[in-house]
Amino acid sequence: MMQFPNDFVWGTATSSIQIEGSPAGDGKGKNIWDAYSHNTDRIRENHNPDIACDHYNRYKEDIDIMKKIGVHAYRFSIDWSRVLPDGTGKVNQKGLQFYSDLIDSLLENKIEPYLTLYHWELPLALHQKGGWLNDEIVEWFGDYAALIARTFGGRVKNIFTFNEPQCFIGLGYLQGIHAPGYKCSVAETIRMSHNVLKAHGRAVQRIREAAPDVQIGFAPTCGMPYPATDKKEDIEAARQAMFEIPPDDNWTWNVSWWSDPVLLGHYPEEGLRRFHDILPDITSEDMKLISQPIDMYGQNIYNGWMVRMGDNGQPESVPRSIGYPVTATGWPITPECLYWGPRFLYERYHKPIYITENGISCNDVISLDGKVHDPGRIDFEKRYLTQLQKAIADGADIRGYFYWSLMDNFEWTEGYSQRFGLVYVDYATGERIPKDSAGWYHDVIARNEI
Ligand code: GCO
């Protein structure tokens, strides 16, 4: 068995749109997913998040389940339009009260809240004013961050600004798959990315002003390349591949364009060269704002791909064998990415790391015995956590791990077809059934070893 550090944070994660429901409850405004889910044919079987897991009404039950699992921490997001229905201006006190009650209940159960300000919940009213293309969004987001920090900063000690800008800009505005379903130009999405990063920096400033004790982080994602062998050249090839920027039609799916400005204070040279003719104005003040010091680096890691150094001295991906193991979403099962990803990230950014998401979708069903047996998830977790423990043992400063997700939920354009949860949700009745993996995770947390 392999031990994790004594103060290692074991958690689980969700996001507001995926679990809360009550899209108009108690004065909540609309966000872009409330709108998109009712005006697109891109969501499987026309599912929508109107009910989701009805967490807005059942949060105490869900916290009881977390308590039984024994998690130390719970990462969740605030629906911006639930607290600021128009994104700015008038505050919806009942919306704030929901999150206040949620936080109090977590603390009563000795579960540390880790809050994400933006898990894709752009208020529709701000979208209609240009959203991430409107430079004013930097202040809009800063004002929102300040409201949250002022209201919850005395109880919440950990705040991540953004979840996965790679996805909400790439899928939402470049490929047009996620809300708002736009296919913008590369130039427009580069400009949006600059506004997202400036908004991150502004939020850091406003949180520091309102709640100086809060630890602040950023939670991007990406695929994590890993070396085909332990040969130096293959490790170097994987390291290079880790920070490269893919072709234009998928350019946002990278680490460096998003994290180098936040943690190193500059965009990657490769990107500046490639996008030179379409860059927005980038000033030194912008870069100072973006690279406000933060305290922790979150990374959502699910999978990666094998890389070796090619004969031409360039990294090349190694094709997967036929029948390579995949999850219910068709994602490859690549535990090595939870060793090499955190290792490469820590080498580059030297910032304490939290795995803010990792998990697996399985075709879970309620068995004849009324239980949900999910040996595939337990096996996945054993493999990935073994690699994570090894990365820690080899020197990466990894502070915590959040299993995605606490419960089955609305998986964006996959609707409710994908079950990532430790807890099964019967959508017909709302019943929650902890899966075998919930008991297994409880024991891992209790022993703090894998
Ligand atoms: C993401 C999001 C989550 C997803 C999860 C499974 O990583 O896309 O943060 O909202 O539901 O990762 O896809």
Question: Is the pLDDT confidence value at 302 over 90?
Answer: yes
Q: Identify which of 404, 416, 420 to mutate to test ligand 1's pocket (most ligand atoms within 8 A of the CB).
A: 404
Q: Are strands 224-227 and 423-426 parallel, antiparallel or unpaired?
A: unpaired
Separation of 90 CA from ligand 1 center, angstroms? 30
Model pLDDT for residues 261-291, shown as the tens digit of each residue: 999 999 999 999 999 999 999 999 999 999 9
Q: How far is CA 403 from the centre of its chain?
A: 11
Q: What is the C-alpha separation between 398 and 347, in angstroms, rounded?
A: 12
Looking at residue 1, its pLDDT comes to 82
DSSP 5: P
Query: Is 411 near ligand 1, meaning CB less than 6 Å away?
Result: yes
3-state SS of 339-374 is: HHHHHHHHHHHCCCEEEEEECCCECCCCCCCCCCCC
Query: Is 167 near ligand 1, meaning CB less than 6 Å away?
Result: yes
Q: Is 295 helix (H, G, I), strand (E, B) or coil?
A: coil
Model pLDDT for residues 100-151, shown as the tens digit of each residue: 999 999 999 999 999 999 999 999 999 999 999 999 999 999 999 999 999 9
Question: Is the pLDDT confidence value at 88 over 90?
Answer: yes
Domains of the chain, start order: 9-447 (3.20.20.80)
Phi/psi at 341 (5° precision): -60, -60
Please state whether the predicted TM-score (pTM) of the whole model is above 0.95.
yes
Average pLDDT, the chain: 98
Q: Identify which of 120, 160, 300, 331 to mutate to test ligand 1's pocket (most ligand atoms within 8 A of the CB).
A: 300
